[in-house]
Amino acid sequence: MKPIVIGHRGASGYRPEHTRSAYELAFALGADAVEPDIVATRDGVLVVRHENEISGTTDVASRSEFADRRATKLIDGKELTGWFTEDFTWPELSTLRARERIPEIRRSSASFDGRFPILRLRDVFEIIDRASDADKRAFGMVAEIKHATYFESVGLPLDELFAEEVNAAGWNGADGRLTIESFEQGVLDGVYARGIYGKRVYLVEARGKPFDEVARLGAKAPHYADYLTEAGLYALSGRVDGISVDKSLILETDEAGRVLGASDLVDQAHAAGLEIYCWTLRPENRFLAKSFRRGRLKADFGDWPAEFRTIMRTGIDGVFVDHPDLAVLARDEL
C-alpha cells in the first residue's frame, strides 16, 4: 500500500494555514485528508489554530481593541507571552484575519495575509463534506487535539467539546474518515470514553516527555523514546491504533546529519500491530535533512523528491505534508 497524503493544516505551503483556502486547495492538489489543530475559545467553541497563542498566525497584535488581552502564561511547562484563544469569545476571534506563520520562507503565501478569517472545527467538517460530495470521494480528517491537560485546567475539557462537535457534524463512525491524534494519550482515552470511535493516533516527539504524564507523574514520567522501544510499541498496541512521529525518527543519519537511509521504526510499529505516520514533509532547505539541501538559501527547494521517496519507501502508512501536490507526485513515482 502506498501512503496516504495528509494536508498539514491544509495546503499550508501555499496559503496561510488553517484557512478555508488552504483546506480547499489541499483537496484540489490531491490530498486524501487534512489535519486541523484544535484549540478552544473562552465560550467553548473549538477553533483551528496551530497553537492557542495566536500572535504568529493572525493579525491580533495589530488590533488595538485587543491590546489588553496580551498575557504571559505557562503552557505545557513553557512560558509564553502573547494572545490566547481561551481569552476570546468566538464572536471576537471571528473578526481576526489569518497570517502566514513563516513569511520569511513562504513569501508567496504571505501575500494572502489578511484575506481569510479564522475557522471553527465545524467549518472544517463542512469543507470536507463539500469536497467529498464534489469529487465523489470520501476525504478524511486527522484532528489534532492540542494542549488538552492545560485546557482542562482552565475549565475547557477538549475531549467533551470535541465529542459534541463530531456528533453534531454527523461524523461519528464516518466510514473510517475520522482520525484523532494528540501528544497526550489521556485525551485520546477521553474521546473514546465519550463514544467517539475514530482511529486514535499517538503523536511522538523525537525528544522530551508527554505533558499529561509529566502533570501526573512529575519526574517519573516516561520519555517519548520509551514508547518507541519494542516493549513500548507493544504496550501501545490496543490502546491506540497508530503512532505519528517526527520524520527524523524515520531517517537514519550519521553524526554529521547525513542521511544513511531509513530506520526500521516503520517495520517495528507494524510488527506491533500499529499504523505509523510521520510529519512534516516540506521541500524547502530549511526543513530538509542535510543530505537533501541544495544551495544556500533556506527558502529554496532542495532535493525534496529524494527525501520524500526515502520516507515513503519504508512502507509508512501516511505522511503529513505542506505541499500535497509534491507528495502526490513523489508517491506516484514509487
Assess if residue 73 is contained within a domain. Answer: no
Could you tell me the residue range of the domain that residue 50 belongs to? 4-54+118-333
Assess if residue 107 is contained within a domain. Answer: no
pLDDT at 174: 61
Contact 33/139 with Cβ under 8 angstroms?
Answer: yes
Q: Residue 110 is inside which H or E element, if any?
A: helix 107-110
pLDDT at 175: 78
* Distance in angstroms (rounded) separating the CA atoms of residues 249 and 327: 19
Assess if residue 94 is contained within a domain. Answer: no
pLDDT at 29: 98
145: which residues sit within 8 A by CB, 6+ positions away? 38, 158, 159, 162, 180, 181, 182, 184, 187, 188, 191
pLDDT at 176: 86
What are φ and ψ of residue 205, in 5° steps? -75, 160
Assess if residue 217 is contained within a domain. Answer: yes
- Residue 276 has which C-alpha cell? 505509523
HEC assignment per residue over 206-225 = CCCCCHHHHHHHHHHCCCHH
Q: Tell if the pTM clears 0.85, that is, is over it.
A: yes
180: which residues sit within 8 A by CB, 6+ positions away? 143, 145, 162, 188, 191, 196, 198, 199, 200, 201
Assess if residue 327 is contained within a domain. Answer: yes
What is the tally of structural domains in the chain? 1
Assess if residue 65 is contained within a domain. Answer: no
* Distance in angstroms (rounded) separating the CA atoms of residues 140 and 325: 17
Assess if residue 273 is contained within a domain. Answer: yes
pLDDT at 258: 87
Residue with cell 502508512: 317
Query: Tens-of-pLDDT digits for all 334 residues of the chain?
Result: 799 999 999 999 999 999 999 999 999 999 999 999 999 999 999 999 999 999 999 999 999 999 999 999 999 999 999 999 999 999 999 999 999 999 999 999 999 999 999 999 999 999 999 999 999 999 999 999 999 999 999 999 999 999 999 999 999 976 789 999 999 999 999 999 999 999 999 999 999 999 999 999 999 999 999 999 999 999 999 899 999 999 999 999 888 888 999 999 999 999 999 999 999 999 999 999 999 999 999 999 999 999 999 999 999 999 999 999 999 999 999 9
Residue with cell 502566514: 100
DSSP per-residue letters across 2-47: PPEEEEETTTTTTS-TTSHHHHHHHHHTT-SEEE-EEEE-TTS-EE
DSSP three-state, residue 258: coil
Contact 100/116 with Cβ under 8 angstroms?
Answer: no
Report the CATH number that the domain containing residue 311 is assigned in CATH: 3.20.20.190
